[in-house]
Amino acid sequence: MRVALASDHGGYLLKEELKRTLTEWGYSVVDVGCDSLESVDYVDYAEKAVEAVRTGDCERAILVCGTGIGMSIAANKFPGIRAALCHDVFSAQATREHNDSNVLCLGARVIGVGLAQAIVKMWLDTEFTGGRHQRRIDKITAIEKRFVQP
C-alpha cells in the first residue's frame, strides 16, 4: 500500500519517526513535506497529501501537525476525503470500520511516538465494515456533491 505522509513544523519530528516505521513495516511512503522545523502553514501540506489520495497515487494519507486539528479541518474540505483525528487506538479501529476514513490526522504535541505507532498500525490494518455504514457515507458524499462547483 502507498501511504502519503505530511506534516507542518509542529508535526515534523513525528512524521520522520512514522516514515521510518512505515518503511520498516513494508509500506511505500510518499513524503510530501515539510522538510524541517521551520514554520510553515499546515494547510499547504494537507492539500499535497490529500491530492495524492484523490488522484489515486496513494491509497491513504497520514497528516501530522501540533494538534492534528488544523490538518483535519483542512483535509475534510476536499471532496472524497474522510479525515479522522485519532489519539487512541479504539477510535482508529472504529473510524476505519464505520467511516472508511482515508486520512488519519495526529497531533505530535498531544501523543508520543509509541501511541502514534499503535494508532497507525490499527488504522492501516482495519477494514471497512460496509453495510449500514456505507449508507451513511453515501449521505455524506451526497452533501459534498451539493457544494461542488460544476
Nearer to ligand RB5, 70 or 96 (CB): 70
Binding pattern for the stretch 90-129 against ligand RB5, x by CB under 6 A and - elsewhere: ----------------------------------------
Assign 3-class secondary structure to 3-62: EEEEECHHHHHHHHHHHHHHHHCCCEEEECCCCCCCCCCHHHHHHHHHHHHHCCCCCEEE
- Which residues, 7 to 26, sit near ligand RB5 by CB under 6 A? 8, 10
34 in catalytic set? no
Query: Is residue 62 near ligand RB5 by the rule CB under 6 A?
Result: no
What is the secondary structure of 97-146 as a DSSP string? HHH--SEEEEETTTS-HHHHHHHHHHHHHPPP--THHHHHHHHHHHHHHH
65 in catalytic set? yes
Shortest spacing between CB 97 and ligand RB5, in angstroms: 26
Query: Is residue 65 near ligand RB5 by the rule CB under 6 A?
Result: yes
Q: Contact positions toward ligand RB5, by CB under 6 A?
A: 8, 10, 42, 65-67, 69-70
What amino acid positions are annotated as catalytic residues? Answer: 65, 98
